[in-house]
Structure 1
Amino acid sequence: MDRLRSETRSRVAIGVVGPPDLVEQIMMIGADLPAAADWRLVGAPLAGEHETYEKFSKIAESIDVALFTGPLQYDLARQGGEFPMPATFVPMSGASLYAALLRGVLADGIDPARVSIDSLPAADVDEAYGEIGVGTAGVHLSEYDQPESARGFIGFHEQLYRQGATTAALTTIRSVAKALTSAGVPVLRMLPTSHTLRLALNTAALLGTGSRLEEGQIAIAVVELAASARPSYSGPGNYWQQELKLSLHQSLLADARVMGATVVARDENSYVVTATVGALAQATDGFRVAPFMDRVRSEAGVPVEVGIGLGTTARDADANALVAVEKARNAGAAAAYMVSGDGTVLSLPLRQRRRAESEPVTATKGAKLLERLVAGLGDGPEALVVDAEIVADVLAVAPRSARRVLQSLAEEGLAWPMPPVKGSQAGRPRQPYRLVRP
């Protein structure tokens, strides 16, 4: 039994979210592929698009990656909040159009030159019709662009058919096909090919494997006072040194807390911070800026040298961290250094400070929102960690609007998403963000 549990945990769990027929097809294809031993498929069939986020949330804690059966399902789930794991979807392309047209011509006698098509990009439709040698003058297209566009697909197809402009409708969406059938409109559902589904499964497996490797890998950071900031002597009577050590510890805890990291004193002048690579990556904007250094300088008023080591074991990560901090020491605390498991060395610069007064810049909409948030949150470092509920309260907006505000701030580099926090009750994990003052 223990061996079985170990094997189950080692397999990448892929959540498949979408209409029942496609979920079943993907799970059947996935079970027959050579790589089936490396993954575990978790199905979340939908009775209707309205329950996409609900069904996704129910399996979110048990999967490593989400595979949605199409862009509509992906976008509907995305509207509910940040994904707590990597996610992808099965793309729709001209390949699904060929099969649908062939079925329509052979079984229903439709005229492929007089049809209405939804979801597919115009370029894919033009290419497909060009290859079969049929003109598109009588072909009507409504492309997919976010879930709002899909709400008009039923009326789009039905109106054209009632006007006699088309002989059939081609749709990628199961609910649209059911509604058109009930209305007496001939309809063909475009389904992804088996080849497309196999590629999507392999893509999802790669994303899930990469995420697990990243999240599970250990990151150890050694943070030590620069030589210029150290006291000339140490001992129990040096109260300034004790206050400085306490201030440094508090500054590190503020960042470590939101990463789920631990902070332990290494000696009188340094600390060791232990986290996962995934958590550290989010806190450093994808390893583009140095962690800890900016906060310690602004709060404790001293420069620090930061060395980060990555490794699959604590011993490897610690050894790499010592190599990295030596490089930071030689650089004069001007940047943090990171040494990965394969020995690659990366320099992480300090976060860019606010531009000088002599270089005026026009505040963006995101910057103005950030100013409003900071003004309503207070000055403490913990106050800069927010979620949709807090933002909704400060800005007096709906939670969905608050989530869009946070997403737009993240896109402008004014906030970065941190690891989701799982609540005690079932449902969507809370997605915290750290606000970034420019």
Structure 2
Amino acid sequence: MIRLALVGPLDSVRLIQEVAAERRDMIEAVPMVYQDAGQVAAILAEREREADVWLFSGKVPYSHAMNARSAGKPFFYIPHTGTSLYRALLQITYIEKKAIESISFDTFSRREIEEAFADIELQMPSAYINYYEGIVSAKEMTEFHYDLWQNGKIQAAVTCFLSTYLELKEKGVPAFRIWPTRENIRMMLDIAVSASEAIRFKLSQIAVQIVEIDGYGDFVRDAMSAYAVQRVEIKVNDLLVDYAERVRGSTVTHGNGRYVIYSTRGIVDEVTRNFTVMPLLEEFIRQLDVSISGGIGFGTTAHAAEKNAHIALGLARRQGRGKWMVVLDDRSVVGPLNSATHLRYDLRSDDAQSRDLAQRLGISVTTLNRLLAAVAKLDKGSFAADDLALYLSMTTRNARRLLAGLVEQGLASVTGEEAVTKGRPRKLYTLLTRELTDFTRNKASSDTPADKNGIDSYTSSGL
């Protein structure tokens, strides 16, 4: 049974609930009514745990939700398509029998309105349209329609906002309300059910976490005694048992400073806050004199999850000691956890264009993907080589060489210099995103040798 939040004004929620009752064998409707869409953020904060999937009555409450969302659960809204307009247009023409020469609309684009009139073979009147993206208030919409009415520019108003509709009616404006159609409601209910099933499948994936004491051989050689080694191993094991309890998993000790934890993706996702933090790291740092690295892998089978965990551990080693990385079932990489340089990127590429570009730059496909993710994360127009080096876990010298290659290929430019305390000024670079996109689309080389699956070995070194 899927717990589906129905969020919107009372009349819309009642209609959606009525249609959802047709699927009562699969859907447990959780109505959440607001007076104003500005209340959506508060509803989310107070009632987030009550639903698995959230369905909003329209674009406005959905935009408020997307602006306030924390993580995880899927959000959908019922679109107001051309079919939603038909009811209002038919009400104006055939029920009210009004000859409208000028009318105002909100939410819909001009094209949608023109097509709706064409579909029911009505002459398109003079139309004033407030089509918006993102968050907009009912007050703004009310003022839009009412100002036009007061200035004699319209004879009627069509709105998707309940409070706007009620206020316009109260002020004597011939107003007509857009409702979601049952057809659109059923379509979005089907999508919500499918999304929930897909999420449940993903959350049930097997999670394997491989944990190891960094430099175990050196640690054993440098230890005061075998007892000192055992004491550290006992502490590590105790911490891992506590963590395994949190993720409802089981631990296996492999010896030589290596441990494996088996659990499921859903609880690991929750404990790591969508793969951004590793709670164990702080405990390891606080209680141990050795550093601990880890790789987390997911898969539909234990073999696939363990393979991804090994890849993740190899990537963690390349980041340095005490690092944790994640490899998802689609071979995308997330990490390092608990780090300001946390990135999400693809481990492989299935297209020849990316492999060709990587070869021209003398780097791996993985590094190319990390480069693009790092530049996006830097979130500024220009950056220096040492900024990039920090994200890519490479020396500043190698980062300069990489950027020089991009400049040579016409995919980056030197945009200036930045004075530093000592030495010569740092060069500032800008990645030319459009040129990079065009390059990867158009400059694939048919004779480029490439790995069959475009995956870097987690044991490889260098760039």
Aligned: 1:146 with 2:134: yes
- Out of 60, 69, 72, the residue aligned to residue 57 of structure 2 is 69
**Secondary structure of 2:136's aligned partner:** helix
Kept after mapping to 2: 8 A contact 1:290/1:349: no
CA 1:329–1:136 in structure 2 vs 1: closer, same or farther (change >3 Å)? closer
Alpha-carbon distance between aligned partners in 2 of 1:366 and 1:265, rounded to the nearest angstrom? 47
Q: Distance in 2 between matches of 1:49 and 1:337?
A: 38
Higher relative contact order (CA 8 A, sep 6+): 1
Query: Contact 1:221/1:306 (CA < 8 Å) preserved in 2?
Result: yes
Change (3 A) 1:286 1:58: closer
Q: Which residue of 2 aligns with 1:26?
A: 16
Question: Residues 252-296 of structure 1, C-alpha deviation per residue, up to 9 Å, x if partnerless?
Answer: 899x69x96778562441223455414545888978999999x99
Identity in percent: 22
| Alpha-carbon spacing, 1:130–1:364, altered in 2? closer, same or farther (3 Å) | same
Out of 297, 312, 315, the position equivalent to 1:308 is: 297
Say which one has the larger Rg.
2
- 2:253 alignment counterpart: 266
Letter in 1 for 2:12: L
Counterpart of 2:192 in structure 1 is: 204
SS at 2:166's partner residue? Answer: helix
| RMSD over aligned Cα atoms | 4.9
The 2-side partners of 1:16 and 1:339 are apart by 31
Distance (Å, rounded) in 2 between the aligned partners of 1:128 and 1:363: 45
Is contact 2:4–2:30 with CA below 8 Å preserved after alignment? yes
Q: Which runs of 5+ in 2 are unaligned?
A: 320-324, 344-369, 384-463
How far apart in 1 are the matches of 2:8 and 2:128?
26
1:144-190 deviations in Å (ceiling 9; x for gaps): 33333543111111121222221110000111100000000001101
Counterpart of 2:331 in structure 1 is: 346
Pairs within 5 Å for 1:283-432:
304=293, 306=295, 308-311=297-300, 317=302, 320-324=304-308, 346=331, 348=333, 351=336, 364=379
Please say if residues 94 and 125 of structure 1, whose CA atoms lie closer than 8 Å, have aligned partners that are also in contact.
yes
The reply to whether residue 165 of structure 1 matches residue 150 of structure 2 is: no
Look up the match of 2:362: none
Report if aligned partners of 1:306, 1:333 keep a CA contact under 8 Å in 2: no
74, 89, 107: which one aligns with 1:119: 107
- Structure 1 letter corresponding to 2:142: I
Aligned to 1:126, the other structure's residue is in SS state helix
Letter aligned with residue 172 of structure 2: G
1:14 aligns to 2:4 (yes or no): yes
User: Aligned partners of 2:203 and 2:188: how far apart in 1?
Assistant: 22
Letter in 2 for 1:31: A
- Aligned residues of 1:224 and 1:306 also touching (Cα < 8 A): no
Alignment partner, residue 184 of structure 1: 172
1:207 CA drift (Å): 2.2
- Is there any run of 5+ residues in structure 1 with no aligned partner, and where? 1-10, 369-438
Does the aligned pair in 1 maintain the 2:295–2:316 contact within 8 Å?
no
Distance 1:136 1:196, change over 3 A: same
31 and 162 in structure 1: CA distance in 2 versus 1, 3 angstrom threshold: same
Tell me the number of residue pairs that the alignment of Structure 1 and Structure 2 aligns: 341
Instruction: Report the AA paired with residue 144 of structure 2.
Output: F
Query: Structure 2 counterpart of 1:270, which letter?
Result: R
Cα distance in 1 between the residues matched to 2:148 and 2:49: 44
CA shift in 2, pair 1:249/1:39, >3 Å = same
What is the match of residue 238 of structure 1?
Answer: 226
Q: Which residue of 2 aligns with 1:195?
A: 183
The CA deviation string for residues 93-112 of structure 1, in whole angstroms up to 9 with x for no partner, is: 22211221111111122345
The counterpart of 1:224, out of the listed 212, 227, 232, is 212
Distance in 2 separating the partners of 1:213 and 1:220: 17
